[in-house]
Structure 1
Amino acid sequence: MGEKSSVCIVGSGNWGSAIAKIVGQNVVEKSDMFEERVNMYMYEEKFEGQKLTEVVNQRHENVKYLPGVKLPENVVAMPDLIAASKNADILIFVMPHQFVRGTCKVMQEHIKDSALAVSLIKGFDKAPEGKPGISMISSMIEDILGIDCAVLMGANLAPEVAEEQFCEATIGCKNLADGELLKNLFEKPYFRCSICMDVQTIEMCGALKNVVGIGAGIVDGMGLGHNTKAAVLRLGLMEMVKFGEMFIDGSQEVTFFESCGVADLVATCHGGRNRMLGEAVVKSTKENPNWTIRELEKEILRGQSFQGPLVAKEIHEVLQERGKVDDFPLFKAIYKICQREMPPQEFIDCLRCHPEHMD
């Protein structure tokens, strides 16, 4: 990399916009390290008759996905992915995980060979056909773009980060130099970052906690209390650890005690969008037995997507291949509820009969 690193944010939802606020401020404050302009790739759509990129650049606010939060003027929304990313030294990926492969394919021949990617994406994919297990988003980015990819995960609900409420995050990287560079890019007094080398476990936590968050929301939707939700968190964390042991070489239990692990799980189960989905699933089942996840997304998320149901489907398929579905009863129940194969009211039975409670 050159003396100063230029930055591009690939994605512009509520989390992408919240991180753009942090990054936009930090590159100005650390002008000896970073170029001042930050390109933010934004999928073009209409907002009140105007192009959304034009509205964002005029008002310096993502009026659709993070209204009321001012973005630094050096953050520039761009609808052209190649133009936004081609000169970047640091590529920050923050978008729904199902769009990453196609996005990287577009960028593939145009980015710098020396660029560093960092994924803030909380999801993963099935491994390529013929290979068992799961494929991490960071690995997908590395494979397609031919560059290293770090990760940033943690208890980071976007509206709270945008309001500068104190929180922590975990940077996962292969070497300390990349970690220090990214720490300088992301850290604020209210957004404290630690560095950890257990990259795949960090990334896995970010995906699986969304599934457990749906379970917490189901508990809320049923009108049950803190004790039941605490059981969901504990059993969910145990299944997360077990999943890591099964699919990630060298997964370290201590990583689950970083912000990317138990802290993110707690935040998601109390305030995340997937918790909101779980609650909506219970209420929608009572009002409309034919609801779909897509309908709930349109109703609740202003065009964004819930990641939990897709991750639940992906891990269910992987566990099926291994014949291990029944070893993860919490994950299994949440998958079946999202697929409308199980009434949400039966969720508590899965907690009651969890193997953890069997002699």
Structure 2
Amino acid sequence: MSNVAVIGAGSWGTALALVLADNGHDVRLWARRKELVDEINQTHTNEKYLPGTKLPQNITGCSSLKDAVLDCETVLLVVPTKAIRPTVQLLKDAVKEPVTIVHGSKGIEPGTHKRISEMIEEGFANTELLKNVVVLSGPSHAEEVSLRQPTTVTVSSNFPSASEKVQDLFMNAQFRVYTNEDLIGVEIGGALKNIIALVCGLTNGLGYGDNTKAAIMTRGLAEIARLGTKLGANPLTFAGLSGLGDLIVTCTSVHSRNWRAGQLLGQGKTVEEVLESMGMVVEGIRTTKAAHELAEKLGVEMPITAALHSVLFASKRPEEAAEELMGRVKKHEVENIIFNGENLPL
């Protein structure tokens, strides 16, 4: 059994800490707020993020990052995308021996358009403190993972041996872990599905039904694959857990904060009102900005993303954005892309 540090005690970080604890590992769960650390250690709960869940004794809350990572070969980073860089800087100062960093966050950085693994690697540049970066992604609501409901995810790294070690760390009878060698595709799929979930929620808020949701999810998946393959991803990744699987669960579930945020937008709330009412990070909003910038830079057509961007950042009415999407020029559904010398449909 291992010592594992989990950095970030939100709903997903706490749920993954539970998986690790169920597997017999000693887990140090780091949080910024001392009152949350005290709650974890004294009552073994995290009521704000996972209400009603009892945490086992082998999860220890830590307010000191140095204490959390002490004697840990693996660090699980589960913080919002905007907190990745400052948290990595703190981690670099805290770790004393080389570590493998597993991240469970989903997003792209606006401006730089960096994926999270790239941000982590940049943060540890010119040091010998980073062994590997591994991403853990897939259709996985924290609430259901905490109830030990069957869940499947994917882990990916540039080094298959690192992915396999992380697979062994997390896998159990309720939490099945696959490996995938396509790091770019796994990260892009996990990030961009939040955009499509926002739009599905928005159309629900407008009163549209299942026909619309199916259209948004299907064409949204095409957008994800189009940008992902332009960045070097394997298009087949987007038919898997971190693509289609994550898209389904995020676009159709009441647990999805991106879907709920989109619904509020469709009901007429402003972005500021939505964020205030949610009380938690809505990654899809920030990712929409980054993906739209990146698509324009690379010349990739992403009409659904562009429509949402106009609602979020240009004050366009959701009804008007929906009308413009439906009024686009006629097109052929199946496109072709070249991957490894083969012509594949998209």
Measured at CA, do residues 93 and 59 of structure 1 come closer, stay the same or move farther in structure 2, by a change above 3 Å?
same
In structure 1, C-alpha distance between the alignment counterparts of 2:220 and 2:260, rounded to whole Å: 17
In structure 1, C-alpha distance between the alignment counterparts of 2:14 and 2:314, rounded to whole Å: 33
Q: How does 1:70-149 map to 2 (within 5 A)?
A: 70-126=54-110, 128=112, 134-146=113-125, 147=130, 148-149=132-133
Paired amino acid for 2:310: K
Aligned partner of 1:268 among 246, 250, 253: 250
1:318 aligns with 2:294: yes
User: What per-residue deviation string (whole Å, max 9, x for no partner) do you get for residues 137-173 of structure 1?
Assistant: 1111122125220101000011111122222101112
Shift, 1:187, TM fit? 1.4
1:156 aligns with 2:155: no
Counterpart contact for 1:8–1:41, Cα < 8 Å: yes
Shift, 1:52, TM fit? 1.7
1:187 aligns with 2:166: no
Equivalent residue of 2:102, what SS? strand
Counterpart contact for 1:117–1:149, Cα < 8 Å: yes
Counterpart contact for 2:30–2:37, Cα < 8 Å: no
User: What per-residue deviation string (whole Å, max 9, x for no partner) do you get for residues 236-270 of structure 1?
Assistant: 00000110122x22x11111122111010011101
Normalised by the length of structure 1, the TM-score is 0.86
Paired amino acid for 1:8: A
Shift, 1:336, TM fit? 1.4
In structure 2, C-alpha distance between the alignment counterparts of 1:279 and 1:106, rounded to whole Å: 36
User: What per-residue deviation string (whole Å, max 9, x for no partner) do you get for residues 58-106 of structure 1?
Assistant: 1111111111111121111111223212432101011101001001111
Normalised by the length of structure 2, the TM-score is 0.89
Paired amino acid for 2:88: C
Shift, 1:278, TM fit? 0.6
In structure 2, C-alpha distance between the alignment counterparts of 1:126 and 1:221, rounded to whole Å: 27
1:331 aligned residue: 305
In structure 2, C-alpha distance between the alignment counterparts of 1:356 and 1:203, rounded to whole Å: 31
2:339 aligned residue: none
Measured at CA, do residues 334 and 59 of structure 1 come closer, stay the same or move farther in structure 2, by a change above 3 Å?
same
1:60 aligned residue: 44
Measured at CA, do residues 182 and 350 of structure 1 come closer, stay the same or move farther in structure 2, by a change above 3 Å?
farther
Equivalent residue of 1:193, what SS? strand
Shift, 1:176, TM fit? 2.9
Give the ranges of 4+ consecutive aligned residues of structure 1 lying more than 6 Å apart after TM superposition. Answer: none
1:344 aligned residue: 318
Where in structure 1 are there 5+ consecutive unaligned residues?
29-35, 46-50, 129-133, 286-290
Shift, 1:126, TM fit? 4.1
Paired amino acid for 1:316: H
Aligned partner of 1:204 among 141, 166, 188: 188
Counterpart contact for 2:139–2:153, Cα < 8 Å: yes
Counterpart contact for 1:82–1:106, Cα < 8 Å: no
Paired amino acid for 1:23: L
In structure 2, C-alpha distance between the alignment counterparts of 1:44 and 1:356, rounded to whole Å: 53
Q: Percent identity?
A: 29
1:300 aligns with 2:278: yes
In structure 1, C-alpha distance between the alignment counterparts of 2:109 and 2:229, rounded to whole Å: 18
Equivalent residue of 2:19, what SS? helix
CA RMSD of aligned residues (A): 1.9
Measured at CA, do residues 181 and 125 of structure 1 come closer, stay the same or move farther in structure 2, by a change above 3 Å?
same
Aligned length: 326
Measured at CA, do residues 353 and 242 of structure 1 come closer, stay the same or move farther in structure 2, by a change above 3 Å?
farther
Shift, 1:316, TM fit? 1.9
1:32 aligned residue: none
Equivalent residue of 1:170, what SS? strand
1:39 aligns with 2:37: no
In structure 2, C-alpha distance between the alignment counterparts of 1:353 and 1:93, rounded to whole Å: 43
Equivalent residue of 1:8, what SS? strand
Counterpart contact for 1:329–1:354, Cα < 8 Å: no
